[in-house]
Amino acid sequence: MISFPKMTTKLSKISIPLRLTFLIFSMVLNCMGIVILQLSEAKVTYEKLGFLESFKDLPIAFISLFAVNFISRFGTKKSLVLALTIVGICSLILPFVEVFWFYRLWFAIIGTCFAIGKICVFGIIRNNISDEKGLAKTMNSVEASFMIGIFVVNTGFGWLISSQYSQFWKFGFISVSVLCAVTIFLFLKLPVSEPKKTEKENIIKDLSTLFNPLLILFLAVIFSIVFLEQSFNSWLPSFYKKHLKVNSFFALQASSFLALFSYVGRTITANIIHRFSLSKYYILCVSLIVMVLIIIIGIQFFDTEDSRALLFLFPVIGLFLSPLYPVINSKMIARIDTAKANLFTSLIVIFSSLGSSVSSIIMAVLFGNEMLTYYPLYILSAVIVIFTISFIYFRFADEKI
């Protein structure tokens, strides 16, 4: 029989490197907002910057299925260490390169490493916890560090950009290299249990056994959530600066508070989720997002479209938006056999990356055509789509129990 208390103890010992891993990937993935802000001032067009996100997201999508076999062959620990090593080296090189094409290459490499890293982290968690509320608690806890990464990168780079050393803003990525070294050191010292290896996995066959109407609904929800999150994480600083007319430092700091509220949202969820129904908690969060957006739209259209109140209302959305992704993941992943956890996670990564890429392209069109007045309406429409698909998903999922 499986001893869950023992496994929980083992998980607690590796929670620090797991959280550091998500912190690192959060910093390199969510520096996109800073890169967009800085390169737009360097006269790089929004069209180019919008597709820059795709260089990060599309490799994530394409590499994920192949990463399953790679991870199965070399093990989650070795694969994760390799991904962190590559991220550390790339972050060390970035400050010394000036050409725009390198940003495309850099984000493609980061995206590939993230695909491997996320599958490894989810695989480690899934092989130690099986109940959906336990998974929800752990995923919210680990993914809360993802929000801290957004806060750290926006705050740190914000200070650097606003200082007298603003031209050296790219040297902030050296801190990522240091964090990678620390995390690798911690992983090398810890034993990590590996899932059972299977003989020559047939991905197509395994996918055919996974796919069903419930999974399709789930993937649609995942796509929509990340679509919405990316509208905030990468483009909110530029919205603050271009539409609300604040300086670069304040734009980044205000966006940092979105991450801070998101961290609080996931931390609170991790501590109270066992008391509630996952589906009811999720729907409540979506409803509260709608309420905040209606207030924002009311201020924008009936008061003034560049009201400073918007600076403080947008971050509040993070409090209710952040729990959605880990809650919906934990509810679905609890149904998946541990042997297929890596393959299932790869699907999550693929549809997350596609949601991020599509969102950024649409946002680039919105910004390029100076349609920033409609930014809150765009966000609200995405939330309504999420609410509709999620409601259908939960009705379907509850009937299957």
> Percent of the chain scored above 90 by pLDDT?
16
Other CB atoms within 10 Å distance of the CB of residue 165? 11
**Interval 37-60 mean pLDDT:** 72
Cα 260 from chain centre = 14
Angle (CA) 122 106 59, round 5°: 50
Q: Is residue 4 part of a domain?
A: no
**Interval 375-394 mean pLDDT:** 88
C-alpha distances in angstroms, 47 versus 43, 53, 218?
11, 11, 31
Taking the C-alpha atoms of residue 322 and residue 269, their distance in angstroms, rounded to an integer, is 9
**Residue 53 is encoded by which pair of tokens?**
């996100």
Phi and psi for 212 in degrees, rounded to 5? -160, 170
**Residue scoring higher pLDDT (365 or 317):** 317
Q: Is residue 91 part of a domain?
A: yes
- Contacts by 1-9, CB closer than 8 A, 24 or more apart: 2/130, 4/129, 4/130, 7/128, 7/129, 8/128, 8/129
Q: 376: domain CATH number? A: 1.20.1250.20
**Interval 54-64 mean pLDDT:** 76
Q: Is residue 3 part of a domain?
A: no
Q: Is residue 72 part of a domain?
A: yes
In this predicted structure, the answer to whether residue 234 has a pLDDT above a threshold of 50 is: yes
Counting the structural domains of the chain, the total is 1
Q: Is residue 1 part of a domain?
A: no
Of 40-54, 258-272, 318-332, 338-352, where does mean pLDDT reach its minimum? 40-54
**Interval 194-202 mean pLDDT:** 58
124-147 pLDDT, tens digit per residue, is: 777 766 666 677 777 777 878 887
In this predicted structure, the answer to whether residue 119 has a pLDDT above a threshold of 70 is: yes
85-113 pLDDT, tens digit per residue, is: 999 999 999 888 878 788 889 988 998 99
Q: Is residue 5 part of a domain?
A: no
CB 281 within 8 A of CB 266: no
Q: Tell the burial category of 140 from Cβ atoms under 10 Å away from its Cβ (0-12, 13-18, 19+).
A: buried
The model's pTM: 0.75
In this predicted structure, the answer to whether residue 195 has a pLDDT above a threshold of 70 is: no
Task: Read off the pLDDT band of 291 (50, 70, 90).
Answer: very high
Question: The domain containing residue 111 runs over which residues?
Answer: 10-191+202-400
pLDDT of residue 91: 92
First and final C-alpha spacing in the chain: 24
Task: Read off the pLDDT band of 160 (50, 70, 90).
Answer: confident
pLDDT of residue 330: 79
Q: Is residue 197 part of a domain?
A: no
Q: Is residue 312 part of a domain?
A: yes
In this predicted structure, the answer to whether residue 11 has a pLDDT above a threshold of 60 is: no
